[in-house]
Amino acid sequence: MNQLAFGLTYALPALGAAFGIGIIGAGALNALGRNPEKLSDIRTLMITAIVFCDSLAIIGIIVAIIAKFM
């Protein structure tokens, strides 16, 4: 049971981060298709948003490790 709890504690935030990154990528490609001359601005904002989504996955693995050893 502890193994399942550990897996779900990390899998759910990672899944949410993956969906978030997919939505960010789709939005960036849509914006780039509408306004191609703003490539550098769109890329900068996209990378910043991806970093925030990845931080959720990192927090999820930290919480999973803490929960496993307590």
Query: How confident is the model at residue 36, as a pLDDT?
Result: 94
CATH of the domain at 17: 1.20.20.10
Quick: pLDDT tens for 33-58: 999 999 999 999 999 999 999 998 89
Q: What is the band of 69 on the pLDDT scale with cuts at 50, 70, 90?
A: confident
Mean residue pLDDT across the chain: 91
13 burial (CB, 10 Å; 0-12 / 13-18 / 19+) is buried
d(CA 63, CA 13): 10
Give 43's DSSP letter: H
Structural domain count of the chain = 1
Query: How confident is the model at residue 10, as a pLDDT?
Result: 84
Assess whether pLDDT exceeds 80 at residue 1: no
Structural domain including 24 reads 2-69
